[in-house]
Amino acid sequence: MKTQDYIEREKKYLAYNYHPLPVVLNRAEGCWVWDVDGNKYLDFLSAYSAMSAGHLNARIQKALIKQLGILGVPSRAFYTDKLGEFAERLCALTGMEKMLPMNTGAEAVETAIKAARRWGYRHKNIPKDQAKILVSSGNFHGRTTTIVGFSSDEEYKAGFGPFDGGFEIVPYGDLKALERAMTPDVCAYITEPVQGEAGIVMPPKGWLKKVQEICKKHNVLFILDEIQSGLGRTGKDFAFQHEIGAPDGLILGKALGGGVYPVSAFLSSAEIMDVFEPGSHGSTFGGNPIACAIGLEALDILKDEKLTERSAELGEYIKDELRKINSPYVREVRGAGLWIGVDIDPAQISAREICEQLQGKGILCKETHETIVRFAPPLTITKDEIDWALERVRSVLSV
């Protein structure tokens, strides 16, 4: 079969809810992927940050295969030897007291919403069914109906209502608006520390710290979605560590699964997590031994291979080099660590067109919205590989 045949077959049998670049992959290793014609590409997206440890990471592979030969998915009806260890390690790394394991990011966000509301009723005496959660404009927290219901992006929600409410959108990065939105019925503010899908949107410096103060003052939980920003991506283990000790609640996913398996978690203080009792929440696959074995290995790799430090160092380098390019297309280069948004002037060219041109040069990345090209390579990438990419990016961005 040819490239076009694979594409036609997907188009025939699949929902058209993605618009992939016209490349059909069938193999990968490290930071590189291959298409069915044998062309080789540098992966500059790493599965939206899920693949931070690199494709087919040998340690992840080994951990997965080992656990597959021991115990698979017994469900949470029983204890296992792996889940407690995973929870303990994740709590130690994040500074949280307890965790609740799920699979996809959206499920972990749903878990945070449930925890926040119950906490509001039980610890803040919010009247029944009145709890309100504040969220940010431009937010992306997943695709369930509850979550898209509080999106500010019509594309994510059009035709999927009715939505139940209970959420209020405040402008991202606007402290005054956040302060104004704090009414007695607010139980939590859930936000991304840096907005990934919105286009690597950075809040003003000092914002997180101030948000934490405002939340504290109003007895409102401060919950961060670090599904994409966490585990080294921004040059700290977690993006919040650029400014604060720890939030009240933390949501993780993506890279926690080592690029091969969906592993997510909600973490918080014991006071918050203890709103759950048996029967109130759960997941058949959440926290299974395979997920735990992979998650533990992903955390080990983060530390042993100094992924966070690499991200900080190489991120600065690549941003500096990108800013040196004299390009008629680029309005701004921004980001933290190996998580970079190149803002493209739509009057000149579309971000999609840039991605297609980069594909032609052997680099795979993806636009987010119409005007931003996101660079988020595996955190295992070498400086030589980045230099290889920069040469090609330069040739596409300059005229």
Ligand X SMILES: *Cc1c(COP(=O)(O)O)cnc(C)c1O
Task: Find the shortest distance in angstroms from Cβ 184 to ligand X.
Answer: 28
The CA R_g of the chain, rounded to the nearest whole Å, is: 21
Q: Are 222 and 211 in contact (CB under 8 A)?
A: yes
Task: Find the shortest distance in angstroms from Cβ 323 to ligand X.
Answer: 25
Task: By CB under 6 A, name the binding residues for ligand X.
Answer: 48, 104-106, 109, 140-142, 192, 196-197, 225, 227-228, 253-254
Task: Find the shortest distance in angstroms from Cβ 297 to ligand X.
Answer: 19
Catalytic residue among 132, 236, 254, 366: 254
Tell me whether residue 192 or residue 385 sits nearer to ligand X (CB atom).
Answer: 192
Q: Please give the Cα distance from 218 to 241 (Å, whole number).
A: 22
To which H or E segment does residue 344 belong? strand 340-344
Tokens 């009247």, located at residue: 127
- Which whole-number Å values give the CA distances from 80 to 66, 75, 86, 297, in the listed order? 16, 9, 11, 17
Task: Find the shortest distance in angstroms from Cβ 212 to ligand X.
Answer: 19
Which has the closest alpha carbon to 192: 162, 156, 147?
Answer: 147
Catalytic residue among 35, 225, 237, 248: 225
Task: Identify whether 375 is a catalytic site residue.
Answer: no
Task: Find the shortest distance in angstroms from Cβ 226 to ligand X.
Answer: 7
Buried b (16+ CB within 10 A) or exposed e, 152-175: beeebbeeeeeeeebbebbebbbb
Instruction: Supply 391's token pair.
Output: 């040469």
Tell me whether residue 54 or residue 142 sits nearer to ligand X (CB atom).
Answer: 142
Give backbone dihedrals phi and psi of 36, rounded to 5 degrees, phi first: -65, -15
Triad 151, 372, 356: Cα angle to 5°: 120
Q: Please give the Cα distance from 279 to 289 (Å, whole number).
A: 21
Task: Identify whether 225 is a catalytic site residue.
Answer: yes
Q: Please give the Cα distance from 193 to 210 (Å, whole number).
A: 12
Tell me whether residue 46 or residue 104 sits nearer to ligand X (CB atom).
Answer: 104
Tell me whether residue 104 or residue 311 sits nearer to ligand X (CB atom).
Answer: 104
Tell me whether residue 126 or residue 251 sits nearer to ligand X (CB atom).
Answer: 251
Task: Identify whether 140 is a catalytic site residue.
Answer: yes
β-strand pairing of 363-364 with 40-43: parallel
Tell me whether residue 236 or residue 349 sits nearer to ligand X (CB atom).
Answer: 236
Task: Find the shortest distance in angstroms from Cβ 253 to ligand X.
Answer: 5
Catalytic residue among 44, 86, 140, 285: 140
Task: Find the shortest distance in angstroms from Cβ 3 to ligand X.
Answer: 26
How many C-alpha atoms does 321 have within 13 Å on its Cβ side? Answer: 19
Tell me whether residue 136 or residue 212 sits nearer to ligand X (CB atom).
Answer: 136
Helices (H) and strands (E) in the chain, counts: 13, 15
The catalytic residues are 140, 225, 254
